[in-house]
Amino acid sequence: MSTKLKPHHQATADSVACTPDKEGKYVCIITLKNLNITWGNDPRYWYLPKDSQRVVNGAAELKQTSWLEVTGKVRFTTKDVGYRISFKVSLTANSFGWSEAPVFLMVKFGRKGQTIWKRIKSLARHHKNKLPSSPTDPFDIPDPIIDHGPFEISKDQISSIRYDELYFGLYEVWSGKWKGGLQIHEVRFQQL
């Protein structure tokens, strides 16, 4: 019998728990090992650091794809607060296809709950607006100015749900155009 590698990178943990920071506010930092990446195990499409099942500080690099889908989930420690969600990403020097690609962030309350979407303006625009940093330095999406505000979930939205997990994702699956050179460093949930 041969062992066949599955084409998609699967999170190695069922969920990520949020922990309090120095000020007592909960923060969740989701790294590569806790993300599901469609086509992530196929080296034609993605580069994952070696032994990505244990990677804590490593970026997944998209070589090329026409279907971007990166997902995960967090378990709430407390439901009486709101959260701000962001992805820390960067574009390589030879990135392509991002000027017209409609990228979206999504959160969903529980497996079957309400879904909230936020459209991200062109990643190429984010990349060009970074001053005076290096063009390949990581940046957060959404950007509060470029994307007309952060991506936040209010305390009322969270306290009204009956689930203790929040699913999230980064998507560009609608254009059908090829794109590449995106690096995903981490996802952050920060208590408001």
Q: State the pLDDT at residue 87.
A: 95
Take residue 5 and report the two structure tokens written for it: 């590698």
- pLDDT over threshold 70, residue 141: yes
Which residues lie across from 84 on neighbouring strands? 152, 190
User: Using one digit for the tens of pLDDT, what is the confidence trace for 1-53?
Assistant: 445 678 898 888 666 767 888 888 888 889 888 999 999 989 999 998 876 45
Q: Say what the pLDDT of residue 184 is.
A: 95
For residue 15, count other CB atoms closer than 10 A to its CB.
17
The burial of 166, by beta-carbon neighbours within 10 Å (0-12 exposed, 13-18 middle, 19 or more buried), is given as buried
| pLDDT the model gives residue 54 | 47
In a domain, 10, yes or no: no
Q: In this predicted model, which residue has the larger pLDDT, 172 or 6?
A: 172
What is the pLDDT, as a whole number, of residue 37? 95
The CATH number that applies at residue 69 is 2.60.120.260
**Chain center to CA of 41:** 17
CA dihedral sign of residues 69, 45, 15, 147 = negative
- Examine residue 2 and state whether it is found in any structural domain, yes or no: no
**What CA–CA distance (Å, rounded) separates 125 from 191?**
27
Q: Is 9 part of a structural domain of the chain?
A: no
Residue 164 located in a structural domain: yes
Give the residue with greater pLDDT, 127 vs 62: 62
Lowest mean pLDDT among 32-41, 127-136, 172-181: 127-136
Given a contact cutoff of 8 angstroms between Cβ atoms, the answer to whether 33 and 13 are in contact is yes
Of the two residues 178 and 147, the one the predictor is more confident about is 178
Is residue 181 in a domain? yes
Q: Report if residue 11 sits inside a domain.
A: no
pLDDT at position 35: 93
What values do phi and psi take at 91, rounded to 5?
-115, 135
Q: pLDDT tens for residues 77-123?
A: 666 778 899 999 998 888 999 887 889 999 988 877 788 999 988 78
Residue 5 covered by a domain: no
Domain span at residue 49? 16-191
The Cα–Cα gap between 63 and 181 comes to: 6
Domain assignment of residue 7, yes or no: no
How many domains are there within the chain?
Answer: 1
For the cut 80, the answer to whether the pLDDT of residue 188 exceeds it is yes
- The pLDDT, as a whole number, for residue 153 is 85
Nearest residue to 167 via CA among 20, 14, 42, 21: 14
pLDDT of residue 19: 81
Coil, helix or strand for 169?
Answer: strand
